[in-house]
Amino acid sequence: MARRLHGMVVAITGASAGIGKALAEALASKGAKLALCARRVERLEELNRQLGGGHLCIQADVANPADCERFINATAEHFGRIDALVCNAGYGFVRTTAQTSHEEMAAIFATNVFGTTDCIRAAVPIMSKQEIGDRYRGQIVIISSAAARRGLPFFGPYSATKAAQMNLAEALRVELRPEKIAVTTVAPVGTNTEFFRVAEGKTGLKRPATDTKVRQTAETVARKIVRVIERPRRELWPLRPSRWALNLAAFFPGITDRAMSYYFRQIDRLNRP
Ligand SMILES: NC(=O)c1ccc[n+]([C@@H]2O[C@H](COP(=O)([O-])OP(=O)(O)OC[C@H]3O[C@@H](n4cnc5c(N)ncnc54)[C@H](OP(=O)(O)O)[C@@H]3O)[C@@H](O)[C@H]2O)c1
């Protein structure tokens, strides 16, 4: 049976742009009540106005554990429950692994991984006390990436954070089963958002321009996430063949390394002085 989206309370991190924003729009159109967080709170407030108001907007930096706890507690206080938590806030940067400083490495783990686990740690005790509605007390949706299953050259640290999220979700899924809290990982491929502009801006290094037509839109990804909130599943691969391609790639690491070396050389050439 599908969970009822109308009146469902969904907390989304990183809702000021991209996939998080598109998801907020899609869920609001189905009557969900939203708690949104990001650092650019003015964008959240503008989004809330566009959606007709009534949603909760919290300025939070998920790299700060206290902000995660404050966001989750404010959601529960405001709406009385949390039916789904979407851990979406994240970023990448263009740099080889060996050239990534300790500080850059710590910062990306703080946002992408600890920002996820700190929100989950605060939300689970709240969800565990809720009544079971439509088979579940709650759901945790983690926006990982297809890069979780294969580290990308110049995106090694980013890929590692996404792999960490996916591994944590696999453990969490089993751990939270007795609590009737569903855990879903989402593994998008290249999606048209601010992601790549932010990734280049962090280091000043460029990556080859991708034809935006080959990327999925944030709206397509969001529509599919709405479906896994309605009917929780273990994993969502918004571009379905990418799942099988990556599984196959794991069987042929030599061929995959050669394909990845081509991508590496492209970025390397682009950034030579
Ligand atoms: N686009 C892709 O190709 C792609 C592919 C696979 C997976 N993903 C994943 O999808 C998720 C969303 O990315 P996107 O593509 O939608 O990128 P985006 O357009 O750059 O949006 C990123 C969102 O995360 C928020 N955010 C970043 N750092 C934050 C922090 N420290 N605290 C709170 N919010 C923070 C940003 O808000 P503020 O800047 O206002 O804080 C923004 O709302 C990420 O986890 C990303 O890894 C993206």
Of the given ranges (1-5, 9-13, 29-33), which has the lowest mean pLDDT?
A: 1-5
Query: What percentage of the chain carries pLDDT values higher than 90?
Result: 95
- Cα distance between residue 98 and residue 180, in whole Å: 42
Of 91, 136, 158, 262, the catalytic one is 158
pLDDT band for 230, please (50, 70, 90 cuts): very high
Q: Could you give the count of Cα atoms lying within 13 Å of 197 in the half-sphere of its Cβ? A: 6
- Cα distance between residue 156 and residue 244, in whole Å: 21
pLDDT at 214 over 90: no
pLDDT at 267 over 80: yes
Tell me the pairing of strands 235-236 and 181-186: parallel
Give the per-residue pLDDT at 273: 83
CA of 221 to the centre of ligand 1 (A): 13
- What pLDDT, in 10s, does the model give residues 117-164? 999 999 999 999 999 988 999 999 999 999 999 999 999 999 999 999
Mean pLDDT of 40-58: 98
188 lines ligand 1 (CB under 6 A): yes
pLDDT at 72 over 80: yes
The minimum-distance atom of ligand 1 relative to the CA of 61 is 32
The minimum-distance atom of ligand 1 relative to the CA of 19 is 16
Look over the chain and give the mean of its residue pLDDT values, rounded to a whole number.
96
pLDDT at 210 over 90: no
pLDDT band for 55, please (50, 70, 90 cuts): very high
pLDDT band for 247, please (50, 70, 90 cuts): very high
216 lines ligand 1 (CB under 6 A): no
Q: Is 91 among the residues known to form the active site?
A: no
Q: Could you give the count of Cα atoms lying within 13 Å of 133 in the half-sphere of its Cβ? A: 18
58 lines ligand 1 (CB under 6 A): no
Quickly tell me which residue has 């003015």 as its tokens.
Answer: 42
Q: Work out the angle at residue 151's Cα, subtended by the Cα atoms of residues 146 and 157, and round it to the nearest 5 degrees.
A: 105
pLDDT band for 33, please (50, 70, 90 cuts): very high
Quickly tell me which residue has 């999220």 as its tokens.
Answer: 165
